[in-house]
Amino acid sequence: MSDLSARNCTLGAGGGRLSARGAGGGHVCRCGATGCWETEIGSAALLRAAGADPAADVADLFARATQGQEDVIEAFGSIADWLGVGLVNLVNMLNPQAIVLGGHLGMTYAIASDRVLSQIDGALPASRELVRMCASRLGGDATLIGAAEVAFSALLEDPVGLLRRSAAS
């Protein structure tokens, strides 16, 4: 496979080809490479790991895991291992102060933070000591809430001014 074709899955999707090698194995990505982060930590990977229908709701898996269903907890754990491997790369490269995980990755962190953090322990000491990690408090609605905030940003920034401009036109 050419180097270019191995990177095709990044076009239009940031982080799609962050290779998370080291967690062992890996599935073949739609780009043809093995170990692409999206293939290993995406919601489809979680559903696959849990043996769930590809159309199933990840929130249902989360509920089953919080109720103690061991096979579902292990599915979240397998995603957490790959998530941690990729985050080590990001922590070492970008040295962030905080990482907030949303959606199914926030659920994964809530269920298997110990497995993510055990991978983070492999980061460079200076970077590892500075980073804080948490699950988003907005849960699965984070994207929707963010989009709504962007749509209403002018109103939120200056409600009176927007009303005045609207009345004047």
Q: Indicate which CATH number applies to the domain containing 70.
A: 3.30.420.40
Distance, in Å, from the CA atom of 23 to the CA atom of 89, rounded to the nearest integer, reads 13
Distance, in Å, from the CA atom of 13 to the CA atom of 57, rounded to the nearest integer, reads 22
User: What is the domain extent for residue 161?
Assistant: 142-169
Q: How many domains does the chain have?
A: 2
Q: Is the pTM of this model over 0.85?
A: no
**Number of other residues whose CB lies within 10 A of the CB of residue 159:** 11
Report which DSSP code applies to 8: G
Same domain, 61 and 126: yes
Strands 132-135 and 98-101: parallel
**Number of other residues whose CB lies within 10 A of the CB of residue 81:** 20
Q: What are the tens digits of pLDDT across the range 124-156?
A: 998 999 999 999 888 767 778 888 888 888 888
Q: What are the tens digits of pLDDT across the range 42-94?
A: 999 999 999 999 999 999 999 999 999 999 999 999 999 999 999 999 999 99
| Residue 103 predicted with pLDDT over 60 | yes
Same domain, 113 and 157: no
